[in-house]
Amino acid sequence: MQVTITIPATSANLGPGFDCLGLALTLYQTVTFSTRLEPGVVITASGEDAHKIPTDESNLVRQSAQLLFDRFGKRPFGLHIHQDNQIPIGSGLGSSSSAVLAGLLGGNALLGSPLSRAQILQQATDLEGHPDNVAPAMHGGLILGCVAMQDRLHQPYRIPLIPGLAAAFDAAYAAGAAGVALSGAGPSLIAFAPDGHEAIGAAITAVFAQHALASRTWILAVDTQGSRVCIAASA
């Protein structure tokens, strides 16, 4: 089996957007994962700063893939990782983020893709500490990634009023939600995600059930038309 991952370079911060604003660029690292009959992991590198890319257990691609292998208790018997790198290392162009993301995407593909792209991005963000490089590297284009769903004005005061609310927030994020918030004054929750909606709804419902609260889930799209008036002429 062979899996090839191509990750763009990124420029982050972009002036005032410290740790949250990033842009994908047309400069790439291509990582090829090839299973092999011999045991162990072999790492080779070519391209820009190839001599700076470690070929032992400190390699970021290997470490990131290994996280998923450990998480799911599976790994290829033998694996060859080749990094063809065109991103200067340590130059502010997201070389480490590209390696982390390549390892996660490659490891996920070798495992049969148990994680969604949203879950992969969350894992990469957790490893990097912020989304400014990994988010544009994953999605392309200009990305603003921030703490926009973490309200400090009213939600902390309502959490004690709704049994299980804090745990429901955690469960939704663990299931792949990109953002979770009270809907209005509650007790309804709203969760945003690009996929995995059923799993997120089930996770929230399960938490509320543990706190003896019945709940219902709707999976809804965004209405872009607003109120509509239809007038039918009488016969």
How confident is the model over 60-72, as pLDDT tens digits? 999 999 999 999 9
Confidence tier at 85 by pLDDT (50, 70, 90): very high
Q: Determine the pLDDT at residue 222.
A: 82
With H, G, I as helix, E, B as strand and everything else as coil, classify residue 35.
Answer: strand
Q: Determine the pLDDT at residue 91.
A: 86
Residue with tokens 């969760």: 191
pLDDT above 90 (res 110): yes
Q: How far is it, in rounded angstroms, from Cα 155 to Cα 85?
A: 45
Average pLDDT of span 76-101: 92
pLDDT above 90 (res 143): no
DSSP tag of 223: P
Structure tokens at 10: 């990124």
DSSP tag of 143: E
Q: How far is it, in rounded angstroms, from Cα 102 to Cα 230?
A: 52
The neighbouring-strand residues paired with 85 are 29, 47
Q: How far is it, in rounded angstroms, from Cα 167 to Cα 159?
A: 10
Q: Which of 205, 150, 206 is nearest to 182 (CA)?
A: 150
Whether pTM exceeds 0.85: no
The alpha-helical segments, DSSP class H, found in the chain are 60-72, 95-110, 117-128, 134-139, 155-158, 165-174, 197-210
